[in-house]
Structure 1
Amino acid sequence: MQQSLSAPLAGARFRRRAMQMLALYMAAGTAAWAAPQVRVLALFEGKALLEIDGSRRVLAAGAVSPEGVRVVSASSRTVLVEIDGRQQSLGLGAAGRFGTAPAGLEVRLVRDGTGGYRSPGLVNGRSVEWLVDTGATAVALSGADADRLGLPWRSAGRPVGIATAQGTKTGHRIVIESLQIGDLRVSSVDAVVLDGDYPRSPLLGMNVLQRLTMRTEGDLLILQQMQP
């Protein structure tokens, strides 16, 4: 009788021990997926000084740290970093907030000191720093920025009247062949170019944002490419 009781007890102890080992294994697996913690210590044109899990790393654009953090692009104002396909634009002193598991490509923008969201990007392959503007119906650039980007707005643009915070201005409507926010790409984008140096930063308007999925989490603006 004693032997018949000890066998079930031993089996129960074995199962309990197995469950404990499984829990430890799952916890270890979760820890392995934990994303590095990133903080921006200094910004330069083409590189950034980052603190990654307590270690300081100077990374040029395109470089990947031993922790798996890639600098997509960097300027004196922001750096676009990527971990496991997730991108986030960070300003000086900002800390990156990434999920714990890989997901689809996305760009995460942290609200800056002015309350806006900025992101490095490209216009027809040339670098630009966007200011997200949900109040703008279309992408808007100054004539100075359009000239720097090589856009033929004077010769190819169609004159239009544009209502701005500074009153009605004359603009030129053009089509941008290829536009990027981080690694998110949008093609054939209507844009307005205003003569002079207004707006100070190129504005990423709703005609682009409506072609992406967009949500906020606290002070984060998260943009994702729409699935075809």
Structure 2
Amino acid sequence: MAIVLPYRTEPRLLWQVLEYAKGKGVDRDTLEARLGSGEALREALNALEQLGLIERGDGAEIRLTDAGNRLAYAESPEERQRKLRAVLLRYPPYGVPLERAAAEGWSAIESAWLERIWQVDLRLGQPRNRVEEARTLFFRLAEEAGFGTFRRGVRGQPSRLVLSPDFADQLAAARELLAESSATTARADQAEKPEQPMLSPAIMLPGSSPIALTITVDMSTWELEKIEAFLRMVGLLPLR
């Protein structure tokens, strides 16, 4: 999926969409009936899709991804903040400036610096008007996650995110949460795959009449001594 910077929506609307999409999902018509059919909803869906929180089918159905479920079913505001930090860190246009700010020891992320990361370092090639509004949404989401406080530009001061004193620790915890989520997903995917028995090729037994024999081995138990004894018995391995 091509990167299209989220903009022209607000965190409150993102949470509402996540709430409606819990369980079996929700269709676009239902969302429009409850939340309105304007640009804000369209861009909220784009933001959630960019952040990997929802997926849209061929029709109008909207479902939560695994990450979306973890965020939507957070049991407390503190847990939701922790989950949101991991979501923001995983999305490159957000994760790269967050990581770089931590590495360079910044106390704030300013709007001009953020635009440079997006347009020069990441080469996103986004329209200028989109970048300007996308910065605001980034700052607001980062504030929601507890990474810092959003300060709007006034009296010659640029818009910026003043980072929390424990920003580096928050980022480290978000990395650990991402690693745990990836490991859990990998284990779940492995568990869903049916176990395939290992089949040996046909072997020839001693004697005048050739017999084709196929051996099915249950490798989940790894009873190597029994396997070896059987292979010696049928002549595949030499007797001791």
**TM-score normalised according to structure 1 size:** 0.29
Q: Greater share of strand residues, 1 or 2?
A: 1
Larger of the two Rg values belongs to structure: 2
| Larger proportion of helix | 2
Return the TM-score normalized by structure 2.
0.28
